[in-house]
Amino acid sequence: EAGVTQFPSHSVIEKGQTVTLRCDPISGHDNLYWYRRVMGKEIKFLLHFVKESKQDESGMPNNRFLAERTGGTYSTLKVQPAELEDSGVYFCASSQVVPGYNEQFFGPGTRLTVL
């Protein structure tokens, strides 16, 4: 069974440009999460989807970030316009929706560099 996949693995863009990151969760996982690690600091939660609905977006830094999960399968995270401080590694994770705590399975991350 394929794990969580993310595309691209690396992206280098200029300040002010737009970038879209994609995450494909494990098949059958209705929970999908986005996290970000900036400059060797802690990994921080951005938001959580249950199917196509945003369950918790308390970690989204500002309105330059837009996450979507149309159809409840893959998700995209768009940064528009990108700023220097958006550089970091963006992780996606997915889990099942069952009673109790659901283990999150992580993708390899997308490394975003904004110049």
Partner 1 sequence: AQSVTQPDIHITVSEGASLELRCNYSYGATPYLFWYVQSPGQGLQLLLKYFSGDTLVQGIKGFEAEFKRSQSSFNLRKPSVHWSDAAEYFCAVAIPGYNKLIFGAGTRLAVHP
Tell me which residues touch partner 1 (CB under 8 A). Answer: 3-4, 31, 33, 35, 40-45, 48, 55-56, 59, 91, 93, 95, 101-109
Q: What is the layout of strands, in order, in the sheet containing 75-79?
A: 5-7, 19-24, 75-79, 65-68
Question: Closest distance between partner 1 and the C-beta of residue 20, in Å?
Answer: 20
Question: Closest distance between partner 1 and the C-beta of residue 17, in Å?
Answer: 26
Nearer Cβ to partner 1, position 7 or 45?
45
Note if the bond before 99 is cis, omega within 30 degrees.
Answer: no
CA distance linking residue 1 with residue 36, whole number of Å? 25
Question: Closest distance between partner 1 and the C-beta of residue 45, in Å?
Answer: 4
